[in-house]
């Protein structure tokens, strides 16, 4: 997910928002919307993780050790598979097609000049 289309856009947005500021003043970015349409499908190629996750949310937090913590979250459901036309329910109700929540977390060195 670290190189997914909208994660890259979120990273670029983060750096633009913090441009010219000392690292200690960098501000987090939360709720950056990652969608999944034709561009993202083409970008995902044969990456099954990106294809499965579909749309997601990106949060980026500066860390004291000059790293960035990325959190990508998503809820996969029958409703999302059917682009909002189907029902949404928990897996304990019906195990097939129910909500499945994913969270991907990683850190990477901040690009500090």
| pLDDT (0 to 100) of residue 53 | 55
- Cα 14 versus chain centre, distance: 13
Q: What is the pLDDT of residues 73-107, one digit of tens each?
A: 987 766 666 566 767 767 776 777 677 778 999 99
CA distances from 22 to 31, 51, 64, 113 (A): 23, 37, 13, 9
State the total domains in the chain: 1
Domain range for 59 is 5-109
Instruction: List the structure tokens of 97.
Output: 């097609």
Provide the pLDDT for residue 1. 80
Q: What angle do CA 91, 40, 2 make, to 5 degrees?
A: 80
What is the per-residue pLDDT across 62-82, written as a single tens digit (0 to 9) for each? 999 999 999 999 877 666 665
pLDDT tens for 31-57 read: 998 766 666 666 666 665 555 556 789
Q: Are 62 and 68 in contact (CB under 8 A)?
A: yes
């Amino acid at each position: 997910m670290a190189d997914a289309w909208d994660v890259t856009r979120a990273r670029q947005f983060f750096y633009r928002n913090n441009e010219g500021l000392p690292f200690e003043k960098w501000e987090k970015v939360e709720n950056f919307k990652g969608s999944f349409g034709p561009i993202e499908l083409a970008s995902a190629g044969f990456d099954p993780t990106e294809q499965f996750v579909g749309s997601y949310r990106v949060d980026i937090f500066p860390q004291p050790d000059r790293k960035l913590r990325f959190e990508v979250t998503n809820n996969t459901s029958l409703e999302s598979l059917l682009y909002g036309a189907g029902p949404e329910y928990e897996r304990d109700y019906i195990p097939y097609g129910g909500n499945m929540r994913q969270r991907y977390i990683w850190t990477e060195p901040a690009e500090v000049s």
